[in-house]
Homo-oligomer: A and B are copies of this chain.
Amino acid sequence: MRRLFIHAWIISMEEEDPCFRGALGINGKTIDYVGSVPPEKVMDAYDEVIDLKYKQAILPGFVNTHGHAAMSLLRGYADDLPLQEWLEEKMWPIEGRFTEYQVRAGTQLSVLEMLKSGTTCFLDMYDRMDVVGEVVLDAGMRASLCRGAIGFGTEELRKRKLEEAVKFALDWKGAGDGRISTMLAPHSPYTCDPQYLKRFIEKAIEHRIPLHTHMSETSREVAQNVEEYGKRPVEHLQKLGFFDPPSLVAHAVHVNDEEIEILAEYDVKISHYPGSNLKLGSGIAPIGRMMEKGIRPSLGTDSAASNNNLDMLEEVRLAALIHKGVHEDPEVVSATTALKMGTLYGAEALFLEDQIGSLEVGKRADFITMNLTGAHMYPMHHLISQIVYAASIKDVSDVFIDGKQVVKKGECLTLDEEKICHEATRAFEALKP
Listed in ascending order, the chain A residues whose CB lies under 8 Å from chain B are 72-77, 79-83, 86, 109, 112-113, 116-117, 219, 275, 277-284, 304, 307-311, 314, 318, 320-322, 324-332, 334-335, 373-376, 378-382, 385-386, 389-390, 392-394, 417, 420-421, 424-425, 428
User: In the bound complex, do residue A373 and residue B421 qualify as a contact, i.e. CB atoms below 8 Å apart?
Assistant: yes
User: In the bound complex, do residue B330 and residue A280 qualify as a contact, i.e. CB atoms below 8 Å apart?
Assistant: yes
User: In the bound complex, do residue A281 and residue B417 qualify as a contact, i.e. CB atoms below 8 Å apart?
Assistant: no
User: In the bound complex, do residue B393 and residue A80 qualify as a contact, i.e. CB atoms below 8 Å apart?
Assistant: no
User: In the bound complex, do residue B420 and residue A73 qualify as a contact, i.e. CB atoms below 8 Å apart?
Assistant: no
User: In the bound complex, do residue B79 and residue A219 qualify as a contact, i.e. CB atoms below 8 Å apart?
Assistant: no
User: In the bound complex, do residue A424 and residue B278 qualify as a contact, i.e. CB atoms below 8 Å apart?
Assistant: no
User: In the bound complex, do residue A76 and residue B376 qualify as a contact, i.e. CB atoms below 8 Å apart?
Assistant: no
How far, in whole Å, are A337 and B424 apart by their CA atoms in the complex?
28
Task: From the candidates B79, B321, B325, B428, name the one contacting A283 in the complex (CB within 8 A).
Answer: B325
User: Beyond A281-B325, A321-B275, is A425–B378 a contact (Cβ under 8 Å)?
Assistant: yes
User: In the bound complex, do residue A335 and residue B80 qualify as a contact, i.e. CB atoms below 8 Å apart?
Assistant: yes
Other CB < 8 Å A-B pairs besides A75-B390, A278-B322, A309-B392, 16 of them? A76-B380, A76-B381, A76-B385, A76-B386, A79-B385, A79-B389, A116-B374, A278-B324, A279-B321, A308-B386, A308-B390, A309-B390, A310-B376, A322-B325, A378-B425, A394-B394
Closest to A77 in B: B381
User: Beyond A75-B386, A322-B325, is A331–B376 a contact (Cβ under 8 Å)?
Assistant: no
Chain B residues within 8 Å of A117, by CB? 376
User: In the bound complex, do residue B381 and residue A75 qualify as a contact, i.e. CB atoms below 8 Å apart?
Assistant: yes
User: In the bound complex, do residue A335 and residue B79 qualify as a contact, i.e. CB atoms below 8 Å apart?
Assistant: yes
CB proximity of A66 to chain B, nearest CB, Å: 17
